[in-house]
A = this chain, B = another copy of it.
Amino acid sequence: MTGIPEGGLVLLYYDVRRQWLLRLERGKDFHTHKGFIRTDDIIGLTLGSEVKSSLGETFWVLKPTTHDFIMHSARQTQIMYPKDIGLILLKLSLTSGMKVLEIGTGSGAMTVAAATAVKPEGHVDTYEAREEFAEIAERNLKRASVISYVTVHRADATAGIEGENFDAAILDVGDPWPLIPAVHRVLSGGAPMVSFSPTMNQVEKTAELLRQIGFVNVYTLECFIREIRAEKGKTRPATIMVGHTGYVTFAQKVIRRVEASTGPRAVADSPADSSENAL
């Protein structure tokens, strides 16, 4: 158990509401409403240790989690939340070694989670046409130490997607429809994809198109999360919660047999009464 190195990144924790991602540069003070903390006091400590501020307040030095990176990336623009991202990791079955395509990097929250899931042998190719978001995303990816597993393409994916045989794809763009045929082409057979949409209208249009283009197992989930305040004799849900981020639509690519003189054929995938799978 060696000490925390200079240049390391820690989560400086005061309480559930007040916590900061902090890069440890020598000789820097970090100021809070509860007094300042000398980064020199942190360097060399064991993770989990306490550190006192100039006002004698106790802070704790913790290891940042993927969840922290997502929440701290999320500030500027993010609508995809940890609740959504966790589910996507499972549905896409992301694991070390996989090749992932992402379209719509945004501030990089999903990208950090995907890269964390596929490292060290896998890779994420992510497309972001808006220069300022690509910047923010790269910064967030560096901070989370996963930038080496990611290529940020500063380009519009509708102009072309490099590579093929991706193991999974993630779309987080307002207008995913023009991209779906290309995504189908560059995915491996049977591979899963996900599209994130804020409105049900978008969901409807996306699901329809996915079925037409050659995807099956198309279904959509909405996820809610609520904090529970645990306190002796007063434990109860938080008064305010996030009511909406977006809807997550899943699908898996299938390969049609070539048939003469046939246009795109809808795959029979009528919504069923239960998403329960028989074994």
Q: Which residues of A contact B (CB under 8 A)?
A: 1, 11, 13, 15-21, 46-50, 58, 60-68, 70-72, 75, 82-83, 85-97, 113, 116-117, 119-121, 165, 188-192, 198-201, 203-204, 206-208, 216-245, 247, 249, 252-257, 268-279
Contact = CB atoms under 8 A, between A and B. Distances in A.
A277 B224 contact: no
6 contacts: A17-B276, A48-B191, A48-B253, A66-B93, A72-B277, A222-B226
Given A15-B272, A240-B243, A244-B239, A93 B65 contact: yes
Given A16-B270, A218-B230, A238-B243, 13 more contacts: A16-B272, A17-B273, A48-B252, A49-B189, A62-B190, A64-B93, A65-B91, A65-B92, A66-B89, A86-B90, A204-B230, A204-B233, A241-B242
B232 A204 contact: yes
A208 B84 CA distance: 29
B277 A71 contact: yes
Contacts of A277: 17-20, 68, 71-72
A200 B83 contact: no
Given A83-B83, A247-B228, A240 B242 contact: yes
A95 B116 contact: yes
Given A271-B231, A274-B17, A188 B1 contact: yes
Contact of A188 (B48, B67, B233): B48
Given A230-B207, A230-B218, A191 B63 contact: yes
- Top 8 closest pairs, chain A to chain B, by CB: A86-B86, A48-B189, A241-B243, A47-B190, A17-B272, A207-B230, A65-B93, A237-B244
A119 B91 contact: no
A240 B1 CA distance: 43
A276 B47 CA distance: 22
A276 B278 CA distance: 27
A226 B221 contact: yes
A231 B204 contact: yes
Contact of A228 (B64, B117, B200, B227): B200
A199 B203 CA distance: 13
Contacts of A273: 17, 238
A220 B224 contact: no
Among A46, A60, A83, A165, the one with the most B-chain Cβ atoms within 10 Å of its Cβ is A60
With most chain B CB atoms within 10 A of its CB, the pick from A95, A239, A240 is A95
A224 to B, nearest CB: 4
Given A225-B222, A254-B49, A255-B48, A63 B242 contact: no
A1 B165 contact: yes
Contacts of A203: 228, 230, 235
